[in-house]
Structure 1
Amino acid sequence: MTSKISFFNFCRILMLLISVLFFAEGCGRSSALKELPPPEVVVTKVVKQAIPFYDEFSGTVQSVRVVNIVPRVSGYIQKCYFTEGTLVKEGDPLYLIDPRPFQAKLDAVQAQLKLDDSKLAFQETQVSRYDLLVKNQATSVEKYQDIVSQRDQLLAAVAKDKADIASAQLDLSFTAITAPFTGRIQKTNIDVGNLVEQQRDVLTTLIKMDPVYVYFSLSRAKSFDFQLLKRQNKLFPTDKMKMQLYLPNGSIYRSDGKIDYISYLIDQTTDCVTVRGVIANLCTGNTHDYDLIPGQYVPVKLIFGEKPDALIVPETAIVESQIGEQIYVVEKGNKVSIRNVVTGSKVNAFREITKGVSEGEMVVTQGVQKIKAGMTVKPMQAPPVQAAVTSAQTK
């Protein structure tokens, strides 16, 4: 009996010791948690500043000048000077039409001019001679008038000969076909040795590569928005609008363009207005490999106005949640609150906030994964937003 009681007491004492140990460990953990410092987060102020109004469109690159090369005289193609698909400069020879028939025609009219000049010189002496005779009544007036008429006919013949020479020289020059401007030459359609007819056969096509046009469409609704901005003096003049292109890798093309034409006529089939921009087509290094190719699709960013008083925060301050976009705000006592926000335009690495925060409030841009609403944090100041946006826009 005594042994049973002793064993029972032993178990009670053991359980008591275990409870004391667990309690002590729990107190130790609680005190350790209380001693943890507040997490560090990077914060920045919400600032108010001007941001650009812009929109994005689907554009198509087109050459500013495309010319079909056609012969101005008929004849046989004697030479083709260019390599298909290469860049040719203004004045470079492209084709040679057999010049021999045209040279022969020029020689003939030049010989005719010499003959008529000789006849005219003789007839001039005859006019002088008969002029004296008619004054001395040694010949009839009718005879004198006939001599003068022959002289005048020869004057006309000489004038015609000179015109024929000019025409023959022009035709001879047309046998040498040259590039009317610098551009990319396409494949030849007619080989050497073939007969071509003037103003009919297309020999090849020349495409101007720099600059290029970019065409895109402006919806009727967006056109109405432009009119509203114009009434509010927030719309740039057409020549001040900036056109930027996105490359396939998502980066901005290294040259900006300008708008040079708006149709102001709505297409009945698309309910859109056609807009055209012009932009420099740059080459890489000393090569003739242009960045933009006529016919290619390009996303277009059109900066058409300015909003003077937008609230700006870094893109990293915005947190996506199931209920929408949110921002962590550091308030008095470095306490964190979470706000539901409405975002607007994106400007480089920054975003406009149209609802949810006020100018001057501190928002968390780094370290949001370590915090939750109600926590106390240790804020670390980031560079001012305004300076960052300004430097980004000037790049």
Structure 2
Amino acid sequence: MVSLLLLSASLSACDDNKSAAQTAAPPAPQVTVAKPVKKLVSDFDEYVGRFVAVDFVEVRARVSGYLDSIHFTDGQLVKAGDPLFTIDRRPFQAALDQAQAAIEQAKANLAFAESDLKRGEGLVRGSTITQQTFDQRTQAKRVAEANVTAQEAATRQADLDLTFTQLTAPISGRIGDRRVSIGNLVTGGTAGNTTLLATIVSVDPIRFEFTMDEASYLRYIDALSDAQSKSRDSGLKSLPAQLKLIDEKDFVHEGRIDFVDNVIDRASGTIRGRAEFPNPDGKLTPGMFGRIRISTSPPAEALLVPDTAIGTEQVRKFVFAVGNNDVATPKYVTLGPVVDGLRVIRTGLSPDDTIIVNGLMRVRPGAKVTPQQASAEAMTAKDPTVRTN
């Protein structure tokens, strides 16, 4: 009987220990905390747009004829004045020779008319010829002079036509593929049915076109100094711009705004802008997409945190701040752009706050945590999930 009582007491003690273990509070989750990073940053906006060439030329012939030769390779870089196409010159050379012969004949007729008129001046004073005959000789001289002028014009035109058989590059840039093969008849002139032979686009510099909304446009105007705002010609041309391609992580291309349209589109409420960028290696190609960044304010000190420190509550963004009692408290913030891998916090955070930068999913508002100190910049370097664009 005594053994049964001892066994019962032992089992009861085990149950009490198990119940105490089950009711004990779980340990506080471990999180990484850091102070916000302070840096000088500028506010900026980003837009998507396309590259366009500064100059775009369609190469068309001014005279009609059979294509005799081609002097370039498809897609090569050409300089202004380089030969591109040659149209069969023989018919135009023959027309020039004929025009030169006609002008010699016209000059001979003029010389005869001048000498005939000179003889008539003495004869009319002596009444050897009538005044009517003298007037006819005067008219003949004037007709001969006009004929010489007309033949000289025809010769110049024939010479131009012969020159137009040699087509040269009007601008420097990259030429496309040939649209006509040797031996084909090329239609020239100024009519709409002329033959397109090739196209040339300038390479360096290159322009980037984009559209901005009305509010951003007004913000850029306000960002200019008073002297710049009063200048009718400057507009937004003094604003610097940075650009990156779709395969680039950073805005490595530097340029400037060179044009803003004079009207805002009524349908979309946007205005067209354009920036110019150097392109010495020809990598930037017309039609290519890119992302442009425009600064909207002078550099100012701002607080930055990793994107891993930011949580979302419906439409609001927040970070968890850890106080002296190691309790996580949410702070609602307004986000800015990403600078050097860190997110700018416009409002809602102070430089003295200690925030959770890793382990956000293990934290609940008002819960205790076990903080481990680190720097926000170090967390950004380690964490491959932080967005940089």
**Post-superposition offset of 1:367:** 9.6
Match of 1:242 among 240, 243, 247: 240
Determine the structure 1 residue equivalent to 2:10.
Answer: none
> Unaligned regions of 5+ residues in structure 1, if any?
1-7, 9-39, 284-289, 383-395
Matched residues in 2 for 1:115 and 1:270: separation? 68
Look up the equivalent residue of 1:212 and give its one-letter code.
I
Determine the structure 2 residue equivalent to 1:355.
Answer: 347
Q: Secondary structure at the match of 2:154?
A: helix
Q: Secondary structure at the match of 2:258?
A: strand
Determine the structure 2 residue equivalent to 1:172.
Answer: 162
Determine the structure 2 residue equivalent to 1:299.
Answer: 291
Matched residues in 1 for 2:307 and 2:55: separation? 48
Tell me the percent identity: 27
Contact 2:207 2:275 in 1 (8 A): yes
Determine the structure 2 residue equivalent to 1:260.
Answer: 258
**Post-superposition offset of 1:113:** 1.3
Matched residues in 2 for 1:301 and 1:92: separation? 38
Q: Deviations over 1:266-300 (max 9, x none)?
A: 445544332222222231xxxxxx21121122122
> Unaligned regions of 5+ residues in structure 2, if any?
1-5, 7-31, 229-234, 361-366, 378-389
Q: Deviations over 1:83-132 (max 9, x none)?
A: 11222221111111111111111111111111221222222222222212
Q: Secondary structure at the match of 2:272?
A: strand
- Following TM superposition, the consecutive aligned residue runs of length 4 or more in structure 1 with deviations greater than 6 angstroms are 334-339, 364-369, 372-380
Determine the structure 1 residue equivalent to 2:188.
Answer: 198
Determine the structure 1 residue equivalent to 2:319.
Answer: 326
TM-score, normalised to structure 2, is 0.71
Q: Deviations over 1:17-46 (max 9, x none)?
A: xxxxxxxxxxxxxxxxxxxxxxx9976774
Map 1:1-395; keep pairs closer than 5 Å: 46=38, 51-199=41-189, 200-218=194-212, 222-227=213-218, 230-231=221-222, 237-252=235-250, 254-267=252-265, 270-283=268-281, 290-303=282-295, 305-306=296-297, 310-313=301-304, 315-316=305-306, 319-321=309-311, 324-326=317-319, 340=331, 342-346=333-337, 347-358=339-350, 361=352
Matched residues in 1 for 2:68 and 2:205: separation? 33
Contact 1:102 1:168 in 2 (8 A): yes
Change (3 A) 1:268 1:119: same
Change (3 A) 1:115 1:264: closer
TM-score, normalised to structure 1, is 0.70
Change (3 A) 1:308 1:259: closer
Look up the equivalent residue of 2:276 and give its one-letter code.
V
Change (3 A) 1:269 1:57: same
Change (3 A) 1:189 1:374: closer
Contact 1:41 1:368 in 2 (8 A): no
Determine the structure 1 residue equivalent to 2:11.
Answer: none
Look up the equivalent residue of 1:52 and give its one-letter code.
S
